[in-house]
């Protein structure tokens, strides 16, 4: 089925790069805040960027192919420290249950080599959290729903392009999927019932002391076949 | 759950760009073929690139974060015209059934505005077809399976980065999901039972006569929320 025909990776790439630009300018405005400006004063920086973005977007419209038009995603960019901390509290609470009893030994053992646990300090320390929601269906009216074919694949593709854009912008992130936290995070962020949390990306610059785990990976010939 | 922790968008991006480089060099070698070289003679061009790729990959290893290590994907790049035609025959046969009876009126109507049907000429004319398979589980031994957590999301993210890479390389594609064709295509391409077709990307240069449908899309403020 070609339901994905004319999906627009380029438009998505542009959008994702714009999100990163916006993030970086928020960073600037945050810097200004530290110099004593109020939050509201620093806000216009962001709005200006959103304006520029929309123009750029419009400019690209003519050259980029058009989407399948479900576009079933919402990117929630969280910069407010209090909201970030509430998100951390929800996730640590649910993840502790995941690790201690809900998910079982197999899951816990499968995660061991990743050295993860339910303590997620980065949810406080990362300058921005991007929570990506998939819209499992569209709302046409109170009674009428719109089918969002392949909504999970579609939103995941958008995430892939966002990850590439974040990397290209010199920022770093880690793809996390807060398990069993979706409903509470949806309520906290006041997202509608048709939206489900797919992924959470903490975004910022790499800490000078950051290290990369030395894990081997598959060779190209193991993942690519030429016929 | 941080099962996605340390997933490596950069590594994927590098890999995807390499795939595109390889595609373009295949194009070159194909050109040589037309000048009378045999398929086998033109092959080394590709192998050389694969070699370079692996080196580049190894070079990047140190700087790029490491994957969650299920890496549950197989990219099958089809350049053989006969195989491409067999793929077309399978897809057109199944898609005609999808449109005529299998999927029903709602599905057919939802697709109408995309002007798609079951005739897929591009499967013959595109220089390359990339069939992306997700490995729904890993095979450790005849009796032991390895859970591939979030394999569909993971492979879709890889596809998103591949789409961006294809676009950046000046090539064009369209994301298609051949519905009910997976099992027959898996057999045709001799992929193992743990692999399921996720997506098919025809890749090439845009035809001079190519047009882009003039569809409107959501505004940035409709898909991004700042908290």
Put simply, the answer to whether B69 touches A217 (Cβ < 8 Å) is yes
**B30 contacts on A by Cβ (under 8 Å):** none
The H or E element containing residue B186 is: helix B182-188
Sequence-distant (≥ 6) Cβ neighbours of residue A17 within 8 angstroms: A165, A168, A169
Cα distance between residue A201 and residue A126, in whole Å: 10
B59 pLDDT higher than 70: no
A120: chain B residues, CB-CB within 8 Å: 2
- Between CA B82 and CA B85 the distance in angstroms is 5
Whether the pLDDT of residue B68 is over 60: the answer is no
Residues A79, B12: C-beta atoms closer than 8 Å:
no
Of chain B, the percentage scoring pLDDT greater than 90 comes to 23
Say whether B118 sits in a helix, a strand or coil.
coil
Contact predicate B158/B73, CB 8 Å: yes
Taking a C-beta distance cutoff of 8 angstroms, is the pair A62, B216 a contact?
A: no
Residues A114-162 pLDDT 10s: 778 888 888 998 999 999 999 999 888 888 898 888 889 988 888 888 8
Task: Give the nearest chain B residue to A83 (CA atoms).
Answer: B227
Interface predicted TM-score (ipTM): 0.72
Whether residue B186 contacts residue B197, with contact meaning beta carbons closer than 8 Å, is answered with yes
Closest-CA distance of chain A to residue B222, Å? 8
For residues A132 and A158, give the distance between their C-alpha atoms in angstroms, rounded to a whole number: 10
Q: What pLDDT is attached to residue B80? A: 94
Ramachandran angles phi, psi of A6, nearest 5°: 70, 10
Alpha carbon distance B227, B225 (integer Å): 7
The domain locations on chain B are: 1-32, 44-208
At B78, which helix (H) or strand (E)? Answer: strand B73-78
Nearest of A33, A98, A108, A74 to residue A186 by alpha carbon: A74
| Arch. (CATH architecture) of A44-208 | 3-Layer(aba) Sandwich (3.40)
Residue A24 pLDDT level (bands cut at 50, 70, 90): low
Kindly state the percentage of chain B with pLDDT values over 70.
Answer: 70
CB contact under 8 A, B66 and A217: yes
Residue of B nearest to A46 (CA): B226
Work out the average pLDDT over B141-145: 87
In a mutagenesis test of the B interface, which of A1, A44, A144 is the best target, namely the one with the most B β-carbons within 10 Å?
A1
User: Chain A residue with minimal CA distance to B46?
Assistant: A226
At B27, the pLDDT band (50, 70, 90 cuts) reads: low
Strand partners, A133: A74, A197
* 3-class state of residue A83 by DSSP: helix
Can you tell me whether residue A142 is helix, strand or coil? coil
pLDDT tens digits, residue range A170-217? 888 888 888 899 999 999 999 999 999 999 999 988 888 887 777 777
Strongest mean pLDDT among B48-57, B101-110, B185-194: B185-194
Q: Mean of the per-residue pLDDT values for chain A?
A: 74
Please determine, for residue B125, whether its predicted confidence score (pLDDT) is greater than 60.
yes
């Amino acid at each position: 089925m070609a339901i994905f025909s004319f999906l627009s990776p380029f438009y998505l790439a542009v959008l994702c790069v714009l999100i990163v630009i916006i993030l970086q300018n928020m960073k600037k405005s945050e810097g200004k805040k530290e110099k004593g400006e109020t939050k509201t004063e620093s806000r216009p920086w962001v709005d200006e960027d959103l304006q520029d973005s929309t123009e750029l977007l419009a400019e690209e419209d003519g050259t980029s192919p058009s989407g399948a038009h479900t576009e079933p995603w919402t990117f929630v960019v969280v910069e407010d420290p209090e909201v970030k901390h509430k998100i951390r509290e929800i996730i640590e609470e649910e993840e502790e249950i995941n690790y201690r009893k809900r998910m079982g030994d197999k899951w816990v053992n499968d995660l061991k080599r990743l050295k993860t646990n339910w303590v997620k300090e980065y949810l406080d320390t990362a300058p921005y959290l991007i929570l990506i929601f998939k819209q499992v269906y569209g709302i046409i009216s109170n009674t009428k729903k719109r089918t969002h074919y392949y909504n999970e694949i579609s939103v995941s593709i958008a995430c892939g392009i966002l990850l590439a854009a974040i990397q290209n912008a010199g920022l770093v992130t880690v793809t996390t999927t807060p398990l069993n936290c979706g409903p509470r995070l949806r309520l906290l962020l006041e997202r509608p019932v048709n939206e489900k949390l797919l992924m959470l990306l903490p975004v910022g610059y790499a800490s000078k002391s950051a290290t990369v785990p030395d894990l081997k990976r598959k060779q190209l010939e193991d993942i690519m076949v030429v016929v």
